[in-house]
Amino acid sequence: MSDQSKGQESLTSVADQFTKRIAEMQLLAVPDLDTLTTAHRRNMEAASAAYRASLEGAQEVARRNSEIVRRAMAEMADAVRAVASAQSPQEKTAKQVELLKAAYQQAVTNMRDLSELIQKANAEALGILNRRFSEGMDEVKLLMERFGKVGG
């Protein structure tokens, strides 16, 4: 056998292998590009909605924090006036203790409120992502079932 015929056989063998590999790849190819692009679009929409929910939650926390600071400043001014108006040292001390106790209770309430706002925003954003993940897994399952019927 000549070198040229060996070369042609080798080329034919490579071409056959290439054709065989292409056929195998078609079986492994993405069965429905339209479904995948739709799923990707939905993923992006869910991510955007989750980001929006997080951002709205952060804005609500910032608004609430501003209210807390404004109220604290007003209460501090009132407290200074109340302590200054007390006549005896015992009265001043009692007033300070009373104001300190009220300030502490208000701080705990404020922290609880802010914590609840943060948890609510996080739960909403995570809920959006969890729902989309679940939908995505259902889509993959359906796609594989359809592909199994077409490809197999």
Angle at 82 between CA 78 and CA 86, to 5 degrees: 170
Gyration radius (Cα) of the chain, Å: 35
72 half-sphere exposure, CB direction, 13 A CA radius: 15
pLDDT at 34: 79
Orientation angle between helical segments 89-151 and 33-85, nearest 10 degrees: 180
pLDDT at 110: 96
**Contact status, residue 130 vs residue 22, Cβ threshold 8 Å:** no
- Residues 109-151 have pLDDT tens digits of 999 999 999 999 999 999 999 999 999 999 888 877 877 665 5
- Residues 4-13 have pLDDT tens digits of 566 556 656 7
**Contact status, residue 119 vs residue 57, Cβ threshold 8 Å:** no
5 half-sphere exposure, CB direction, 13 A CA radius: 2
